[in-house]
Amino acid sequence: MTIAAALLLAVLQGLTEFLPVSSSGHLALAGLLMDVPRSGISFEIVVHLGTLVAVLAVYRRDIRDLLAGLAKRERESMVLAGMLLLGSLPAALAGLLLQDCIEVLFSDPVAVSAMLMVTGTVLFSTRFIRSGARSVPGPGGSLLVGLAQALAILPGISRSGMTISAGLIAGIDRERAARFSFLLSVPAIAGAAMLKLGDAGTLDIGLTPMLAGFTVSALTGYIALRLLLGFLREGRFSMFSWYCWLAGGAGLVLSLTGT
Give the pTM: 0.89
Q: What is the DSSP string of the chain?
A: --HHHHHHHHHHHHHHHHSTT-HHHHHHHHHHHS-PPPP-HHHHHHHHHHHHHHHHHHTHHHHHHHHHHHHTT-HHHHHHHHHHHHHHHHHHHHHHHHHHHHHHHTT-HHHHHHHHHHHHHHHHHGGGS---SBSS--HHHHHHHHHHHHHTTSTT--HHHHHHHHHHHTTB-HHHHHHHHHHHHHHHHHHHHHHHHHHH-S--S-HHHHHHHHHHHHHHHHHHHHHHHHHHHTT-GGGHHHHHHHHHHHHHHHHHHT-
Shortest CA distance to 153 belongs to which of 36, 54, 23, 3?
23
pLDDT for residue 120: 96
Of the listed ranges 63-72, 78-87, 155-164, 190-199, the least confidently predicted one is: 190-199
Q: How many domains does the chain have?
A: 1
pLDDT beyond 90 at 179: yes
Nearest Cα neighbor of 237 from 176, 150, 154, 174 is 174
pLDDT, tens digit (0-9, with 9 covering 90-100), for 44-95: 778 888 999 999 999 999 999 999 999 999 999 999 999 999 999 998 888 7
Q: Which pLDDT score, from 0 to 100, does residue 202 have?
A: 53
The string of pLDDT tens digits covering residues 134-147 is: 888 899 999 999 99
Q: Does 204 score more than 70 pLDDT?
A: no
Q: What pLDDT score does 39 carry?
A: 54
Judge whether residue 34 has pLDDT over 80.
Answer: no
- Start-to-end Cα distance in the chain: 26
pLDDT of residue 187: 87
Q: Which amino acid is at 183?
A: L
Cα–chain-centroid distance for residue 27? 13
Mean pLDDT computed over every residue of the chain = 86
Domain residues for 206? 3-257
Inter-residue contact 156 to 114 (CB < 8 Å): yes
In the chain, the amino acid numbered 109 is P
